[in-house]
Structure formats: structure tokens, C-alpha cells
Amino acid sequence: VTAVVQDLGWLAVRFVVDLGRLATFGMQIVRAAFLPPLRIRLFVGELFKLGVLSLVIISVCGLAVGMVLSLQGYNTLVRFGAEQSLGAVVGLSLVRELGPVLTALLATGRAGSATTAEIGTMVATEQLDALRMMSVDPVDLVVTPRAVAMLSVMPLLSALFIVCGLFGGYLVGVGLMGVDPGAYMSSLRSAVDFRDDIVGSFLKAVVFGALVGLIATYRGFTAVPTSAGVGSATTSTVVVASVTILIFDYFITALWGV
């Protein structure tokens, strides 16, 4: 029994220490992001890798989610004779929840894991040690452009996901199910509010972007310098970031009502 309690205590202590290190690491990133030199070229390169290269998966998934949402929503609404409200159902679901959450989960799998693997490989091949020997701060040169780029691309990717989803929902609802196009757009516009829904959606996307950027870079930066260590760090990024996104989504919705 004592050993079990000891293990539990050790896990709790390790969790708190890890959280403290993560917070310190986050502060280092914030400081490096605002202090010169600003790494604009590196930032643009990361925008390409994290944003442009994620565009296809985000668009296709957004379209598919919108289409299936419209199909399911229609089949439910038609039982109550409320199929004209399909636009509101699809719009609110995408804007308030599915857009930011699914974009963050997809970006974690597509871009977050790649970021961890890239930084972890730099750790394993001692490239970060080489930077330190040249008095170059690896957090400033390697970590900050990636974390800031992740924070920047998430709201844009989320907006594109939602627009693709609305288009997919329109295609199925109007083209396949025969809902009136005017009624679809009218219910969508009357249900979605800028201040309550759109701003909240982008707030969530920014928070998720910060979380994924922080977790992905931290896991890569602290990876065990072996090939197995890099693999383990990559897996850990996907698991930890996905769970964190879903937990934060609950608390953001519960506390701020968005």
C-alpha cells in the first residue's frame, strides 16, 4: 500500500514540476516573440509548413463534416417539420464547436506532430547544442517562430474549415434534400450572432493554437535524444494536445458561454 501511495505522490509531483517547466518555457517564448531580432523569414516559412500544407486536409474535412451534419440534421429536423431551420443547426454547430475543435485536432495531428518530430530530431542530432555553443538561443531561433506561427494559423484555418463546412451543408441541404436556399441562408444568418458566436469561435481557435504550439514545441524540446525518444515525444504531443484541447473546450464553453 505504501508503494502505491508513493507512486501516486511521485506522479503528482512530476505533474506539477512538468507544469511549472511548461509555464517557464511559455514565458521564454513570449519574451523571445517580442524582443528583437524578430525572425520574420522563419515565421513565414513556418506559416507555409503549418498553414498552407494543412489547407487541403482542413478544407476536405470541413466539407465532409458540413455535409454529414446537414444530412443528420435534416433527418432529425424533418420529424418535427422544422427542416427550414437546417441552416441554423449547421451554422451554430460549426461556428461554436466543431470548427475550432476539429481544426485544432487536425492541426495537432498534421502540424503539431511534425513540429515535435522536427525539434526532437534537432535535439537528438545535437543541433540545439551547436546553437548554444554559438551563443544562439534555441528558444528564440527554433521554438518561437513555430509556436507563434501555430498561434497565427489556427484562427485562419478554423475560419476556412467553417466556411467549407457551411458550403458542404448548403450543398447537401439545398441540393440533395430540397431545402429552400433562401430559408437555409436566412435561418443561418438569423441564428449566428457576431459577438456571441463568431468572436467566441475565434477566441477558442486562438487558445487552441497557443496550446498546440506550446505543447508541440515543449515536447520536442524536452525529447529524449534518441530515435525512440523522438517517436515517444511525437506520440505524446498528439495525445496530450488532443486531450488538453477537449478539456479547455469544456471550460471555455462553461465559463464564457461560447
Partner 1 sequence: MTRAPMRDFLVGCFVLAGLAAVAYLSFQVGGLS
Q: Compare residues 31 and 189 and give the one whose CB is closer to partner 1.
A: 189
Output the smallest distance, CB 239 to partner 1, in A: 28
Give 211-255 as a DSSP string.
HHHHHHHHHHHT--SSHHHHHHHHHHHHHHHHHHHHHHHHHHHHH
Q: How far is CA 95 from CA 11, 87, 153, 211, in A?
A: 38, 12, 17, 20
The answer to the question of residue 17 lying near partner 1 (CB under 8 A) is: no
Residues 110-129 that bind partner 1 (CB under 8 A): none
Is the separation of the CB atoms in 65 and 102 below 8 Å? yes
Ramachandran class of 226: left when φ > 0, alpha when ψ lies in -120 to 50, beta otherwise: beta
Which residue, among 57, 58, 72, 56, has the nearest Cα to 169 in the 3D structure?
Answer: 72
Q: Compare residues 170 and 221 and give the one whose CB is closer to partner 1.
A: 170
The answer to the question of residue 258 lying near partner 1 (CB under 8 A) is: no
Quote the cell numbers at residue 200: 467566441
Pick the binder of partner 1 from 15, 64, 193, 246 (CB under 8 A): 193
The answer to the question of residue 51 lying near partner 1 (CB under 8 A) is: yes
Output the smallest distance, CB 187 to partner 1, in A: 11
Contact flags string 142-181 toward partner 1, x per CB under 8 A: -----------x-xxx-xx-xx--x---------------
Binding site for partner 1 (CB under 8 A): 41-42, 44-45, 47-48, 51-52, 55, 91, 95, 153, 155-157, 159-160, 162-163, 166, 188-189, 192-194, 197-198, 201-202
